[in-house]
Amino acid sequence: MSDRPVSEAGVVGPGPLVPLDEAYVAHAEVLREVAVCAWDAVPLARGAGRGPGHDLEAALRLADLAARLVECAVVVALEGGASWADVAVLAGVGEDEARGRWAGPVRDWVGAGRRRPPGRVDSVTVAGDVDAWYRGVEPGVEGVVTAGLVSAGPSGEAAREEADRGRAEAAALWRTSPGGSLESGVAWASGLRTQAEHLERLAVLEPPLADEHVAQARELRELAALVEPMPGPF
């Protein structure tokens, strides 16, 4: 068992949550920013410091937050088991367009270890802060974020440990870049096949990019078949 402490909210303390929970918390964090920004923009009284450009600045800020919110929602959908085809249908666009819009943020998410960026306030604290903020808006409503986290459930600790192992394995695979040179077709083909194997494993470890990893692995295997010398007649 981990020695991570348990918070009052019932979530195992500092350290990354399971990827879906991390995505939910990131989404909730931006939702709170949207709500606060919109709330602050509503009063029309010309108070101190509210110049003629205040409303435009607030609207632009909301537009930026809305774009971030959609990116977070796409990550939540993919972490929750949706496919890019599902995302495209929900967005009312073609799959290629959906990928064109949001594949970058999804890759950034996976590249960060399928968690909110390290170095910021940890997700457990953020979830608790959003709980407290929402409770201030709707008194009596408890755990609006933390109560829905897998990491807070009975199997949460085991799920987090499994996620930690998956992150570590994925990081190790990304650090490994098999060699092989053009001078040796056999060695190069072997390196390509090893990379393909790594990508196929990453497809399991990083579901949001699974189809991308599988497609790249297929291309590497096809290339390996081309560069490997054909066996001689003797």
What band does 182 get if pLDDT is binned at 50, 70 and 90? very low
How far is residue 215 from each of residues 16, 38, 198, 199, measured CA to CA in Å? 29, 42, 13, 9
Q: What are the backbone dihedrals phi and psi of residue 192, each rounded to the nearest 5 degrees, phi first?
A: -65, -40
Place of tokens 């500092």: 14
Q: Is 81 left (phi over 0), alpha (psi -120 to 50) or beta?
A: left
By the 8 A CB rule, do 149 and 79 touch? no
Q: Which residues pair with 6 in a beta bridge?
A: 12
Mean pLDDT of the chain: 84
The length of the chain, given as a count of residues: 234
Q: Which of 173, 159, 160 is nearest to 206 (CA)?
A: 173
DSSP state, 47?
-
The pLDDT tens digits of the residues spanning 147-169 come to 999 988 888 889 999 999 999 99
